[in-house]
């Protein structure tokens, strides 16, 4: 066998192995698609959980700012305002001319609001007991006085599927803060 024949033999062997390996098998493609599908499903699930946490945080921030706004309005307008909640919605109320509590605004920032699905809030005040059932309709849980004081309170926010719980705290002097609760505080 001459050197030329050996080179031709090597080339033909290379061509035959190359022609057998021109692409991926169906099994290889299915495995790759399956792996990509599993990774994508994990990404979607983690984004969905985060989306609920983000919505909850936005709602807590909104209420924190609305409470500050309500306190500021009570001071600037020289009126007594309140906020009440049934756990799934909240509204701001004021004392009307007849001396009874009534809704403050039907539009604008202090309008009544319903929490998005799955979210709930719980208001805990230290000084006031829950009103009797027949009186509970518009009596506020939190008072904003024209002097700048407010009812000391804690509002806990939670949501189905969320990994965090938030708390809004207000003290007598009118300071309002938002915080994320740790597992030991829940």
Nearest to 112 by CA among 133, 134, 85: 85
Q: What are phi and psi of 150, to 5 degrees?
A: -145, 160
Q: Which CATH architecture has domain 55-185?
A: 3-Layer(bab) Sandwich (3.55)
pLDDT (tens digit per residue) in 136-154: 567 899 999 999 999 999 9
Q: Across-strand partners of 167?
A: 156, 179
Task: For the chain, give every domain's residue range.
Answer: 55-185
Q: Which two tokens stand for residue 141?
A: 């849980």
pLDDT (tens digit per residue) in 74-122: 999 999 999 999 989 999 999 888 888 999 988 899 999 999 888 999 9
Q: Model pTM?
A: 0.69
Q: Which helix (H) or strand (E) holds 42?
A: helix 26-77
Say how far apart CA 142 and CA 152 lie, in whole Å. Answer: 8
SS3 124: strand
CB 167 within 8 A of CB 157: yes
């Amino acid at each position: 066998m001459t050197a030329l024949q050996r080179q031709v033999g090597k080339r033909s062997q290379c061509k035959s192995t190359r022609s057998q390996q021109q692409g991926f098998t169906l099994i290889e493609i299915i495995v790759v698609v399956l792996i990509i599908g599993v990774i994508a499903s994990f990404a979607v699930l983690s984004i969905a959980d985060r989306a609920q946490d983000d919505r909850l945080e936005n709602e807590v921030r909104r209420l924190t700012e609305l409470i500050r706004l309500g306190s500021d309005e009570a001071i600037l307008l020289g009126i007594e305002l309140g906020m009440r909640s049934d756990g799934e919605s909240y509204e701001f109320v004021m004392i009307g001319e007849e001396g009874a509590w009534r809704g403050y605004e039907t539009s604008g920032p202090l309008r009544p609001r319903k929490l998005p699905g799955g979210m709930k809030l719980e208001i805990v005040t230290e000084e006031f007991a829950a009103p009797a059932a027949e009186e509970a309709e518009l009596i506020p849980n939190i008072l904003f006085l024209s002097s700048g004081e407010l009812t000391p309170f804690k509002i806990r926010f939670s949501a189905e599927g969320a990994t965090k719980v938030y708390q809004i705290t207000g003290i007598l002097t009118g300071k309002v803060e938002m915080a994320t609760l740790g597992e030991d505080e829940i």
